[in-house]
Chain A
Amino acid sequence: MRKEAPLLITFVVALIVMLSQVTTGNVPGLGISMPVLFERYISPWMTVVSAFSLCLASVNLIVIHSRNVSRKQPEWIYSLILLGSLVLYGAWCTYVQINPDNAAAAATYSLLYNNILSPLMTGQWACLAFYVASASYRAFRARNLEATVLLVSAILVMLGATPVGGVIWSKFPVIQRWLIDVPNMTGQRALLIGAAIGSFVACLRTMLGIERSHLGIGGGS
């Protein structure tokens, strides 16, 4: 039953979602249509499940890092900082949500968010610019025809995407536009269509119970 029940729920829910897109009439015996069944019952329920999955992720994080701290694993101090931050931000935000009239608490939470968390996250993103500069210097070598095409395209796109490119030569933005609109779009469309077909096949396998790894009971057949 541990295997069958989740598979049955998956199948029924997936069937309702799929049929809700292609049928309009009432379901015999239920008196409501598939779109209504989906919008009124399945859709809100999925939102609740998603919200619970966020809670589950937090619990999982607490369990793993508490274990690191209690066993004094290597770099356990970072686990402690993570737990402290989680509790601080979580508790404060909950208090703000419960007491929306307390403007001082909300302002302090914003202060913590905007002056600690936000600069740390933005700083990480900014570091990427330096890594990308170093990596492109090392990777973009015209070793063969394919690498040369990539190298030339990259330089043209970089020049066309910034104002200085247009100042150097007015055609750089035109060439960049063409590269993005024609060769790039062709490749992207092929990728999108391929990925969509792949997703459909993966969904069908999950719906029919062929793919079971998401239930933690082994891989596909």
Chain B
Amino acid sequence: MDLMTRLQNVDSRVIYVILLIALSLPLLFPMGIPMQVDPMVRAVYDIIEGLDPETDKVLLSIDYSPGAGLDAEVSPVAVVEHLTQRGIKWVAISFGTPDGPMMTNRIIDSLEQRGYEYGKDFANLGYMAGEENAIRLFALDCLSVPTDVRGNRTADLPVMQGIKNVKDFAFVMQFSSSGPEMWIRQVVDPMGVPFATGTVTVSVPAIIPYYHSGQVKGIMGGVSSAAQYELLCNNPGRGASLMDAQSMGHLIIILFIVLGNIGYFMTKDKKQSAGS
């Protein structure tokens, strides 16, 4: 087999090993490649910057599971850090997956270790079955969830005082591994609540029409958006640390695609000249 044919048939295991090295090295030796901030990410940042910590509260719909990986997990952490920095109270609930409350607990654990108070600064209302219908039910009556994940009465939580329906939240943000269509249909369009979404990178192209129509005010797509958000908050964290690895991973994939095509064209020319 000549070199050009080999270029078209590189063993998958070789690609895996090279990719693994390309992803691992920047994690061990960060390069700090400069980033540009996407307008969709800045929009989320600007909304939260515009909130009043004295009066405004934020609702977070945590609808992803560990199966969506870090791509889904780093964005809510970045946004919650920003909310915490600004002293804005928030409430989390899950409609998309029963794993949601566990994912919220991970964020809460870190805040409690730093002295923030559960029930006063934030709360986790758990999972509500029914997906789209449950979103509507909760939007109309936020006390339809009788207790939080710790067994406290929702109506008694200090953070829930003054909250009757979803319009009492100044801003709603959903984090999921898919799209925000259910929220748009049941809450954003009929109730006019400011809404943004965080999702995995591959889901962003499908959400773009809602961003340009104004139904979704901002989008955070995966690790890169989280890294940009951390940059805006001057608080580099997990997202920023993963970006060098992502850059190297993309370069390796592009390199293999280019090599495969070089091999393809070189052998194609040979085959054509042999045939003529």
Residue numbers of A with Cβ under 8 A of B are: 39, 43-44, 46-47, 49-51, 54, 97, 100-101, 110, 113-114, 117-119, 121-122, 124-126, 129-130, 132-134, 136-138, 140-143, 151, 154-155, 158-159, 161-167, 173, 177, 180-181, 184-185, 188-189, 192
Q: Is A163 in contact with B33, judged by CB distance below 8 angstroms?
A: yes
Q: In the complex, A47→B256 CA distance in Å?
A: 49
What is the minimal beta-carbon distance from B13 to any residue of chain A, in angstroms? Answer: 9
**Are A167's CB and B34's CB within 8 A?**
yes
Contacts of B144 in A (CB 8 A): 44
| Interface pick from B46-54, B80-88, B115-123, B246-254 | B246-254
- Judged by a CB distance under 8 angstroms, whether B238 is at the interface is no
5 residue pairs, one from A and one from B, having the closest CB atoms: A100-B151, A125-B69, A164-B247, A47-B130, A118-B66
A interface majority secondary structure: helix
Q: Can you sample 24 A-B contacts with CB below 8 Å? A: A46-B130, A46-B133, A50-B131, A100-B151, A122-B67, A125-B67, A133-B15, A133-B19, A137-B253, A159-B250, A159-B254, A161-B201, A161-B224, A163-B34, A163-B244, A164-B250, A164-B251, A173-B36, A180-B208, A184-B205, A185-B208, A185-B209, A188-B205, A188-B206
| Chain B, interface SS category | helix
CA A100 to CA B149, docked complex, whole Å? 8
B106 located at the interface, meaning its Cβ lies under 8 Å from any Cβ of chain A in the complex:
yes
**Is B63 in the interface zone, CB < 8 Å from A?**
no
A141–B9 alpha-carbon span in the complex (Å): 12
Q: A-facing mask of B97-126, CB < 8 A → 1, else 0?
A: 010001001100100000000000000000
Is there contact, CB below 8 Å, between A155 and B67?
A: no
B36/A47 in contact, CB under 8 A: no
Known: A110-B102, A138-B260. 14 other contacts (CB 8 A): A39-B140, A118-B102, A124-B67, A134-B15, A136-B256, A140-B260, A141-B260, A142-B265, A151-B257, A158-B254, A162-B247, A180-B205, A181-B212, A192-B209
Please pick, from A46, A113, A166, the residue contacting B36 in the complex, using a CB distance under 8 A.
A166
Pairwise interchain contact B261-A140, C-beta atoms closer than 8 A: yes
Q: Mark B115-155, 1 if CB is under 8 A from A, else 0.
A: 00000000000001111011011001000100001110000
